Amino acid sequence: MGSEPLLPKRVVAYIHDMGVRALDHLAEGDHTAAPPAVQTLVEHWKSMSKDDKEQFVDRVANSVVEVVAASAALPLGLKLGKKAVKATKKVIRKQAKKIKKAAKAPSKPKPKRAKKK
């Protein structure tokens, strides 16, 4: 990666944090039914020191950042590029909406009022 940042620092930090969180979540859960590659990754993750974990996630996050930046810069043509961006934004909005909806705590049901006769 060059000296010029490819994505905003906030996005890079988010990618890094989500990587750590995802691997920690995998390590906490039951991964016996997972494919062998995932089982191996989880076992290695559990045995790593905190510094090794940070270094590993930094390398993976850097690769993700490069892929995201490269895909945004693909020479698709102006019209096709705009369509791809629009479709991507739509998918991201839908996913964000689903996540927000799932994260909301279930509200208490309102008591039903008796109807006046």
Q: Model confidence over 2-32: pLDDT tens digits?
A: 445 666 788 888 888 888 888 888 888 877 7
- At residue 78, the pLDDT reads 56
Per-domain residue ranges for the chain? 9-75
Token pair belonging to 76 = 């698709």
DSSP assigned state of 73 = T
Give yes or no for a contact between 61 and 15, defined as CB atoms under 8 angstroms apart: yes
Mention every residue, 6+ apart, whose C-beta is less than 8 A from residue 12: 5, 61, 65
68-84, pLDDT tens digit by residue?
Answer: 777 766 655 556 667 77
Q: What is the pTM of this model?
A: 0.53
